[in-house]
Amino acid sequence: MWNGLQALYTAFVSRVALVVLLQRVDLRPLQGSGLRVLELHHQSVGPHDVSQVAYAAGVVRAVVLDIGETLVRDDRYWGSWADWLGVPRHTMSALVGAVTALGLDNAEALRMIRPGIDLQAAYRDREDAGRGEYLDDTDLYPDVRDGLQALRDVGLRVCVAGNQTAQVGDLLRGLRLPVDAIATSAEWGVAKPDAAFFDRVIKLAGAPPGETLYVGDHPVNDVIPAKAAGLATCLIRRGPWGLLWGDDPSVPADLRINGLADLPALLENDRMER
Ligand SMILES: [Mg+2]
C-alpha cells in the first residue's frame, strides 16, 4: 500500500517536473512529425522495453552520443563540487534531484549551497587549486568501449558531442575511445539545447540529419532539440534524467535503450529492413 502510494507520488512529481521543463522549451518545431511520434509511443512503449518507434525515414549512417550520463557517470563531477563546497556528497546528490524535480537547471543545486556563487570564478579557483575537472576510464559506464566499438563494427560513423568544457574534451580524447571524433560545447562556443549546437552535430556526423542518430539521457537538452533539428533520436535510460523520464510518452524519442549494448542490433536491423 505504502509502496504503491510512493510510486504514485514519484510518478506525479516527475511528470510535473517534465511539464515545467517542457514549458521552458519552444516546441513549435516539433509540430508535425514529432507529435506523430508521440502518439505512437502511447501505444507501443512499455517500461524498460528496448523499443523502436516511428523511425525517421532513411537508414542511420552516423551516431553522435552525448557525454554526461550517456558515456560518463556524473559521480565524480558532483562529488568534487560537494567536496569543494564542503557539504556531504549525499547532500549534493539530493539537491541535484530536488532542482531536477523543480524543473530548474542543475547549477541551482550549487547556488542553494552557496547563494550568489560566481560559477566561472569557482571553476577557475578549483583549477588553480589543482582540483579541476578530471576523468579517466573509471568514470565511463562499463558498456562504453564495447558499445562504441560494436557501432563501428556495423559500419557506422561514431562521434561524441555534449555540453562540456574544453578540458573534458581533451580528457576524453586522451582515453582513446573507438570513435571518429569528439567535440564539446565549449570548443564549439555553443551549447545544447541551442539549435546551432545541433547544426554542428550534423556537420560532425557527415551524414544528412535524417540519417544521423543523436543519443542522450536528457529530454530537454538532447531528445527534443535533436528532433527539432531533424535528427533521429535515442533516449538512454540511465542517470537521474534518463531514469526519471525514460518512458514518458511526451518525450519524442525514436529509440529508447537501457544501455549502449542495445543499440547496434537495433540499427543493424534497421539497415537490413530498408
Ligand atoms: Mg547527458
pLDDT digit string (tens) for 45-68?
344 454 444 344 348 999 999 999
Residue 169 CA, ligand 1 centroid: distance in Å: 14
Whether 199 shows a pLDDT value over 80: the answer reads yes
Q: How many domains does the chain have?
A: 2
pLDDT attached to residue 265:
86
pLDDT attached to residue 58:
45
CATH number at residue 229: 3.40.50.1000
Whether 259 shows a pLDDT value over 50: the answer reads yes
Per the prediction, the chain carries an average pLDDT of 84
Q: Are 149 and 65 in contact (CB under 8 A)?
A: no
User: Could you tell me how far CA 192 lies from the centroid of its own chain?
Assistant: 10
Q: Which candidate, 254, 148, 165, 154, places its Cα nearest to that of 209?
A: 254
CB atoms within 10 A of CB 32: 9
Mean pLDDT of 2-24: 57
Query: Are 42 and 167 found together in one domain?
Result: yes
Greatest CA separation for the chain? 55
Range of the domain at 178: 28-72+141-273
Query: Are 80 and 66 found together in one domain?
Result: no
Q: Are 163 and 191 in contact (CB under 8 A)?
A: yes
Mean pLDDT of 228-255: 93
Residue 179 CA, ligand 1 centroid: distance in Å: 18
Q: What is the spatial order of strands in the sheet that 62-65 belongs to?
A: 51-52, 255-257, 232-236, 212-216, 62-65, 157-162, 181-184
Find the range with the poorest average confidence among 77-81, 114-118, 261-265: 261-265
pTM of the model: 0.81
Helix (H, G, I), strand (E, B) or coil at 57: coil
Q: Which candidate, 101, 52, 119, 89, places its Cα nearest to that of 273?
A: 52
Whether 82 shows a pLDDT value over 60: the answer reads yes
Query: Are 180 and 232 found together in one domain?
Result: yes
Residue 244 lies in a domain: yes
Residue 117 CA, ligand 1 centroid: distance in Å: 23
